[in-house]
């Protein structure tokens, strides 16, 4: 059975390197046979906002996240693997965001859902 990695992102994109690192590790986990989940909480939910137009010289993290959501890897048993991205509902609501503001493929979870994701993971990376 594949090991599960949950990446928790608490920080917004562009103000620091945390969001870019979270996305990079999400991609790496999927590509290397881990069931990998990205859980966006607090300001991390801004990463999932659609249509980010980054300034010249900066990578648009929404564009990168779209590519990662499309990527398909393999688990050790040969079955298909993909990245799962969840946005914490209460964090979105506190910031005036709703599901309609998010990239396609990002699912909204409540507190219970977030707790289940974390409890079901073998390892957690926190950014």
Residues that bind other proteins (CB under 8 A): 3, 5, 17-18, 21, 24-25, 28-29, 31-34, 122-127
- C-alpha angle 126-81-105 in degrees, rounded to nearest 5: 70
Q: Which is nearer to other proteins, 76 or 98 (CB)?
A: 76
CB of 41 to other proteins, least distance (A): 14
Q: Which is nearer to other proteins, 25 or 49 (CB)?
A: 25
Cα dist from 96 to 7, 9, 49, 106, 113, whole Å: 24, 18, 12, 17, 20
- HSE at residue 12, side-chain half, CA atoms within 13 A, is 9
Tell me the closest approach of the beta carbon of residue 28 to other proteins, in angstroms: 3
């Amino acid at each position: 059975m594949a090991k599960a990695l949950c990446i928790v992102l608490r920080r917004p994109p562009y103000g620091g390197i945390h969001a870019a690192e979270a996305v990079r590790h999400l991609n790496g986990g999927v590509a290397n046979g881990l069931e990998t989940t990205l859980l966006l909480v607090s300001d991390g939910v801004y990463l999932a906002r659609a249509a980010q137009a980054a300034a010249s010289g900066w990578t648009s993290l929404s564009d990168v996240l779209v590519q990662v959501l499309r990527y398909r890897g393999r688990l050790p048993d040969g079955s298909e693997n993909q990245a799962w991205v969840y946005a914490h509902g209460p964090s979105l609501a506190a910031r005036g965001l709703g599901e309609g503001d998010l990239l396609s493929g990002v699912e909204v979870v409540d507190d219970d859902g977030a707790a289940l994701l974390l409890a079901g993971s073998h390892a957690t990376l926190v950014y």
